Structure 1
Amino acid sequence: MSTYPCILTAWHAHEKELRGYLIHRLGDPYGADDLLQDVFLKSLRQGADFCRLDNPRAWLFQVARHAVIDQCRLAKPQSVMTDDLAAPPAGERDPVEQLDDCLMRNLAALSIEDHNIISQCDLHGMKHQVFADNHGLSLSAVKSRLMRARQRLHAALLLHCQVRFDEDGKVCCHKPRGPLS
């Protein structure tokens, strides 16, 4: 690949301005330098076509803008893991996971209709429309029945399992009472 003088002339005329633009857009001088190098390589790959451009500055800035967009699309948000996010000690389960026994006991104590709709739709993932078709109901009737069944199960869990929530509304703990009577 031979270097055309027109590329070097345009590059020397606009390199500092391009670098400033990239630093402003990225907020990272090292990342800006990497993209600046990519823009220069793309201009070299254009060869004689670059020399025929009416406005080489506009072309360079367009390539730089697209490089910034591509980099932002590829960037994956990352966060630092802190010690407070560590997994619970071995053998200790998350409070929500500890509710499984209490949940199953309370689900079994619900009416057969409530038990069926929650089991099929929530636990086994049956689509509401399929449940409606299988039971000769309308979709809105299934949604209403499911909502009421969930409310009854929620009330039973609060009563029989003494579920408590933290300030974020997440289950923090519970104390299952003895077997349901």
Structure 2
Amino acid sequence: MTSALPASRAKHGTTRNETAALDESITAWALAARGGDADAVELFVRALHSDVQRYVAHLCGDPQTVDDLAQDTFLRALGSLHRFEGRSSARAWLLSIARRAVIDSYRHRAARPRLSDVPDWQLAVELAQSCDLPGFDDGVALLDLLASLPQDRREAFILTQLLGLPYAEAAEVSDCPIGTVRSRVARARATLMDLLDEASRPAALAA
């Protein structure tokens, strides 16, 4: 568990330059898709599908609805592409739509009580990643640590540190000031490092 935080970022992440270049490509695909390019639509959806699944899994707290919410997000996005002008990255724009889809889902479920409730966003995220990929165990360990964070800090950390959004775009997705996002990430990181230190002490003492 002591290597979960750095290992997850190293194995699942990319450099900031690579992330920025990918975001530029995704945004270009979104703009091309707006013009009716079918290939660009496929590239756009494929590039962001896993990010949307991870994000809605974190927000919705119900593993059974993750796929439906992801599909709803893309349907909304494709129906709104004519309004996308590329002023922000397509990733931030899409995650904002995902957030609204989850909020609307909460409101709908509040009006129609469910027979059962499965408040396990961790399980949904685990099921969304392949068990045979390198770093899977580290990723699950990181999810265990993230579960201990308050929801607002967890969301800020996932958006910036796992999904790679710049702080300004994470603030746009979360609908809060950029300073608030920076504060939440800093506090989340401090809490995670404290938890990693606590987890490593028994092993150090045993050694």
TM-score by length of 2: 0.33
- Larger Cα Rg: Structure 1 or Structure 2? 1
Quick check: which one's helix share is greater? 2
TM-score by length of 1: 0.37
